[in-house]
Structure 1
Amino acid sequence: MKLDVPNRLGAEARLGIGVFGTAFALFVVRFLVPRPIAMSNNGDGGRVLCGAGITWKGLPEPFVHLAYTAAPDAPPCRPTYLLTQSWLADLAVRIAGAAGFPRTLSLVVLGLLSSVIAAAAISAIVLGLPYRRRTRLFVAAGLLLVVADSAFFGYFAAILGEGTAFLGLLLVAGGLLLTAREGRWSYAGLAVTFAGGVLAVNAKVQTLTILPILAPAILLVRPGGLRGVRRWASAVLVIGAIGAVTLYAQQSVEPARAPDGTYTAFPGDDSREINVFNSIFLNIVDGKHDTQADLAALGLPPSFAQYAGNGWWHPHPARVDPRYPQYRTQMTRGNVIAFFASHPARTLEVLNRAATDQLTARPDYLGSFEQDAGFPPHAQEYRVPVVSWLTGLIAPLGLFALVPIWLIVAVRAWFHRRTALGVVLALLFAVSVTQFGTAALGDGIEGIKHQSVALFSILIALVLCSSPLNRRSEPTVP
């Protein structure tokens, strides 16, 4: 039996290396052949570039810039909140500098870096699943289909925050599964969980809510071979490290200037009023319901009816009204939450629309190609459309399609609640639901894009749900 242990370890190592090599090779081909693809800037990309040391005053762009070069006379900048995509972008800038292109971000280099991490994360998940090789390879194929799907893959080579959210969640899933294994696998799993947690939690302000979900998941997974104080100490250490890095990173940014002129270092405060404003005038006072009753419930004057359906950046928004400063105090999340809590039918309507947005999977305004590729503005690639095509088919059903998917994952998580797989499924389910609610009720614009993290989470969970379906599967290690 002892002689069999090295053989098993060698087989596991070969499996992990094989999955990583195959995944990375497929990602490279998918990324670069016949031409590089990425995701164009929606107008918010300046934050990622700023975090990488490149000042960029960019508006929404119909084409992809494969290289961003800082102007020689551009003043230095600091982002108002951190996106971990900036860390990968900064590394890509350093690689370009070593190659003789100082202060240049190559999206090709960024995409290759992300592909390496994605391949490693899939390998970690495969190694963490305690099932036979056939079952684990089946899961690997499903993960490849999701990660490489045209709705998600372009974010890896983009100056947007969603890419590192996807990578972080994959790493967290693989890390938690590895943590439950015996011996050195467990320590490797804790390290992978830490790396993934930092990436996912700090990917966007919206993803900061992942931290309170991730913490109990780390505590619930039992590290293989660790018992008693060592078990709890290791879990607390990982949670504390993720929290400390998050606190340090988010407090090291430029103080945000809110629309009312005040400054604060709290992440996202420069857009908090904008988000609430859009939620009010696009989700609630949308001109499709009883506008006067909605305004009264929100404590806004009847004259604001003329701005129904007009968001913050509309040519005629309520914020330009002379009376707006008098009612700015009503632009709070508490006011929005109170409205939705007292109007359940309207809340369900908004949630149903958000479910359709989520299953639509891909916004039509984020192009995939650079201008020299010869495609029209906003043109998109469909090299791997399987998953997003399937979700698009059921998107018109809204909550009638999304809720059953949630139930499948929730039931599987409960059925495997005593295992690391059950913890991972519960984590992905909770992330998907909370990201769904945050994006649906907290902002009235870019609904499809803001739902991408929720959709990615639940799709990864669905793939993992398939792993225990093979009844002949047996643990590969004691």
Structure 2
Amino acid sequence: MRRSEMPGTRAIAAYWKRVFRAAARYASPSLLAAAAVLAITAAALFVKPYIGMADNGDYFRILYSNGIYFNAPDYDSQYFGYFVKNFGIFQYFNESGTMLSSSQSLFVRLALQLNVWFMNDRTFDIRIQAAIYLFLYAAAVYLLVEALTWGAPRKRGYAIAAIAVFIFGDTAYTAYFNSFYGESLMLITALYVLASGLLIYRRRFNDYAMLAVFVVSALLLTTSKQQNAPFGVLIALFGIFLLFARRRRTYRIGAASGLILLLTASIASYVLIPQEFVNINKYHAMTRGVLPDSSDPEQSLKGMGIDQQYALLSGTIYYETYTTIDVNSDMMLTEFYGKFGFGKVLAYYAAHPDQAVRMLNLAAKNAFNARPQAMGNYEKSEGRAFGAQTHFFTLYATLKQSLAPKTFGFVFLWAIVIVGLYMPSFVSAVRFKNRRQSLRLPLLLMMICLGLAGMAVSILGAGDADLAKHEFMFTFVFDLVTFMTIADAILGSLWRNVPFRGEAEHATTAA
């Protein structure tokens, strides 16, 4: 760990230890967890050396249509290597059209407006956006820890809060806030989806308010990136269990309306994917997925009705400067892209299970890395090496990357163990017709399916291209579900629904 990043480490540790002890007398575990994540992340993002994420070439998709442009003269030389925090703001007519429909634009435009009001109308400072994200993230951490520790013994609650800070305060996650990647919004909204569902399960706070948080956060998650379109279908499917948390008609109508809206948004997100992005994904699905791992690429293409000469594209990427054929040519559009869809790719893997397993294992190797190794975290002015990454509060991410078994067999076993641990409490709740307490397992299954869907979509949609970033949803879901399991184990509520203090009068479903 560099001294420039952690000055006076021992003194700081001792100081925070005293602060924690004093705060523990008055603050709840959830409040302490949120405050600690807020403080740690603020130190990383807003105190020199500023930590962020370098652009891998994707920023332009969200910037220009929202009135922001690259104004650094040497910006092109900083791709992948350096974090850039300042961008230009269009002063006159912006002729750039919307490249993609994303809920991320709502937050970019809000940050831009605040920047114009309170800082500068010519230069956009990305830290304004990071501040918005951090506030929302800390609130989400508060809700999640509150859902798990409400009414629990204080000492156990503080232990859970400490684990939450260790995992969710990790800079490998929060560095995304100082970037224009959609993963920032995915990180926050996934937290809200699980936290709000668990708060309904625990009957903590107002059910209608938590239902609104669940639906809105699920909508933002589904529409943040086009590859997230399947998420809305999965959340709507498992969200059916929320309908039965209360018997009151107004609640059920509201829940049903929210789930229908979510399903509609999911379909719309898929339909609205620009054809250019569809072609990019198709190209990589074939050249970085099917062909490189095939023992006979020509035969694989023939079986899918594609000319065998396109086997020459195996291993290439869409963005290469010099290629054997123009990837945007009419010939490619009719003889390559037009010959298959993602359904055909899925059918191919189903017919070649050995190849599918190899791709899943390849995906698993990248499924436990929260930050792509290709992108640096420092500004160029800091004088760090090109692509250098921070080590400030990244112990959890480092341990997970080093120790997690990187096979799909482990992923499958993990999912089975989680379901098995929570199944007895679910069966008990169903047996006693306690609809509210039967929510916990469906919520966990929903999150697990979201993670697995993220992994599957990455393989089908882009092969092995940039897997570490494409599988962000799985790595975060893994942490969310594992954290919840550890918390319930500490509280002794894995196999049974334990009514904590203040919950006994609500042990049965209320009208």
Choose from 63, 66, 69 the match for 2:88: 69
Q: Which residue of structure 2 lines up, in the alignment, with residue 8 of structure 1?
A: none
Question: What letter corresponds to residue 42 of structure 2 in structure 1?
Answer: V
* 1:310/1:317 contact within 8 Å kept: no
* Alignment CA distance shift 1:405-1:131 (3 Å): farther
* 2:233/2:263 contact within 8 Å kept: no
Where does structure 1 lack aligned partners over 5 or more consecutive residues? 1-10, 252-264
Choose from 159, 167, 172 the match for 2:193: 172
Question: What letter corresponds to residue 84 of structure 1 in structure 2?
Answer: S
Question: What letter corresponds to residue 176 of structure 1 in structure 2?
Answer: G
Distance 1:52 1:13 in 2: 40
* Alignment CA distance shift 1:223-1:16 (3 Å): farther
Distance 1:210 1:86 in 2: 19
* Alignment CA distance shift 1:88-1:246 (3 Å): farther
Q: Which residue of structure 2 lines up, in the alignment, with residue 137 of structure 1?
A: 158
Pairwise CA distance, 1:184: 4.4
Pairwise CA distance, 1:169: 0.5
Pairwise CA distance, 1:185: 2.9
* 2:186/2:221 contact within 8 Å kept: yes
* Alignment CA distance shift 1:27-1:72 (3 Å): same
* 1:168/1:199 contact within 8 Å kept: yes
Which secondary structure state, in structure 1, belongs to the residue aligned with residue 257 of structure 2?
Answer: helix
Q: Which residue of structure 1 lines up, in the alignment, with residue 247 of structure 2?
A: 227
* Residue 308 (structure 2) pairs with residue 302 (structure 1): yes
Which secondary structure state, in structure 2, belongs to the residue aligned with residue 358 of structure 1?
Answer: coil
- Give TM-score scaled by structure 1 length: 0.85
Pairwise CA distance, 1:34: 3.9
Distance 1:335 1:395 in 2: 32
Choose from 401, 408, 413 the match for 1:399: 408
Question: What letter corresponds to residue 283 of structure 1 in structure 2?
Answer: G
Q: Deviations over 1:86-122 (max 9, x none)?
A: 2222111111111241254322121121111111011
Which secondary structure state, in structure 1, belongs to the residue aligned with residue 124 of structure 2?
Answer: strand
Q: Which residue of structure 2 lines up, in the alignment, with residue 117 of structure 1?
A: 136
Percent of paired sites with the same residue? 19
Pairwise CA distance, 1:143: 2.8
Choose from 209, 212, 215 the match for 1:188: 209
* Residue 441 (structure 2) pairs with residue 435 (structure 1): no
Structural RMSD (CA): 2.9
Q: Deviations over 1:129-173 (max 9, x none)?
A: 255144443333333223232432211221111110110010111
Question: What letter corresponds to residue 308 of structure 1 in structure 2?
Answer: S
* Residue 207 (structure 2) pairs with residue 201 (structure 1): no
Instruction: Report which stretch shifted further, 421-430 or 281-290.
Output: 281-290
Q: How does 1:10-21 map to 2 (within 5 A)?
A: 16-21=30-35
Q: Deviations over 1:367-405 (max 9, x none)?
A: 111111111221111212233223322466322332232
* Residue 341 (structure 2) pairs with residue 327 (structure 1): no
Question: What letter corresponds to residue 350 of structure 1 in structure 2?
Answer: M
* 2:33/2:162 contact within 8 Å kept: no
Which secondary structure state, in structure 1, belongs to the residue aligned with residue 87 of structure 2?
Answer: strand
Pairwise CA distance, 1:457: 0.9
Q: Deviations over 1:268-303 (max 9, x none)?
A: 432111111111111121176222222222222232
Q: Deviations over 1:34-90 (max 9, x none)?
A: 422111111111222235322459864421111211244563433232233322221
Q: Which residue of structure 1 lines up, in the alignment, with residue 433 of structure 2?
A: none
Q: Which residue of structure 2 lines up, in the alignment, with residue 345 of structure 1?
A: 354
Choose from 451, 469, 473 the match for 2:489: 469
Q: Post-superposition, which runs of at least 4 consecutive aligned residues in structure 1 deviate over 6 A?
A: 244-248
Q: Which residue of structure 1 lines up, in the alignment, with residue 476 of structure 2?
A: 456
Which secondary structure state, in structure 1, belongs to the residue aligned with residue 187 of structure 2?
Answer: helix
Question: What letter corresponds to residue 24 of structure 1 in structure 2?
Answer: L
Q: Deviations over 1:428-468 (max 9, x none)?
A: 11111111111122212111110111110121110001122
* 2:69/2:87 contact within 8 Å kept: no
Distance 1:123 1:237 in 2: 27
Q: Which residue of structure 2 lines up, in the alignment, with residue 275 of structure 1?
A: 281
Distance 1:56 1:425 in 2: 41
* Alignment CA distance shift 1:134-1:62 (3 Å): same
Which secondary structure state, in structure 2, belongs to the residue aligned with residue 466 of structure 1?
Answer: helix
Distance 1:275 1:433 in 2: 19
Pairwise CA distance, 1:247: 7.7
Q: Which residue of structure 1 lines up, in the alignment, with residue 110 of structure 2?
A: 91
Query: Which structure has more RCO (C-alpha within 8 Å, separation ≥ 6)?
Result: 2
* Alignment CA distance shift 1:241-1:404 (3 Å): same
* Alignment CA distance shift 1:140-1:426 (3 Å): farther
Pairwise CA distance, 1:187: 2.7
* Residue 127 (structure 2) pairs with residue 108 (structure 1): yes
* Residue 310 (structure 2) pairs with residue 290 (structure 1): no
Distance 2:236 2:279 in 1: 29
- Give TM-score scaled by structure 2 length: 0.80
Pairwise CA distance, 1:198: 2.3
Question: What letter corresponds to residue 63 of structure 2 in structure 1?
Answer: L
Choose from 24, 32, 46 the match for 2:38: 24
* 2:62/2:100 contact within 8 Å kept: no
Distance 2:100 2:301 in 1: 32
Aligned residue pair count: 453
Instruction: Report which stretch shifted further, 119-128 or 384-393.
Output: 384-393
* Alignment CA distance shift 1:245-1:455 (3 Å): same
Q: Which residue of structure 2 lines up, in the alignment, with residue 3 of structure 1?
A: none
Distance 2:275 2:477 in 1: 26
Q: Deviations over 1:333-374 (max 9, x none)?
A: 232122112111111111110110112443221111111111
* Alignment CA distance shift 1:211-1:126 (3 Å): same
Instruction: Report which stretch shifted further, 276-285 or 101-110.
Output: 101-110
* Residue 379 (structure 2) pairs with residue 358 (structure 1): no
* 1:310/1:318 contact within 8 Å kept: no
Distance 1:22 1:86 in 2: 28
Which secondary structure state, in structure 2, belongs to the residue aligned with residue 470 of structure 1?
Answer: helix
Distance 1:29 1:438 in 2: 35
* 1:51/1:82 contact within 8 Å kept: no
Question: What letter corresponds to residue 188 of structure 1 in structure 2?
Answer: A
Distance 1:455 1:101 in 2: 37
Q: Which residue of structure 1 lines up, in the alignment, with residue 98 of structure 2?
A: 79
Which secondary structure state, in structure 2, belongs to the residue aligned with residue 69 of structure 1?
Answer: strand
* 2:41/2:171 contact within 8 Å kept: no
Q: Which residue of structure 1 lines up, in the alignment, with residue 176 of structure 2?
A: 155
* Alignment CA distance shift 1:354-1:176 (3 Å): same
* 1:169/1:200 contact within 8 Å kept: yes
* 1:167/1:199 contact within 8 Å kept: no
Choose from 373, 383, 394 the match for 1:374: 383
Q: Deviations over 1:192-241 (max 9, x none)?
A: 213321221112111121111212333313676x4242342231233245
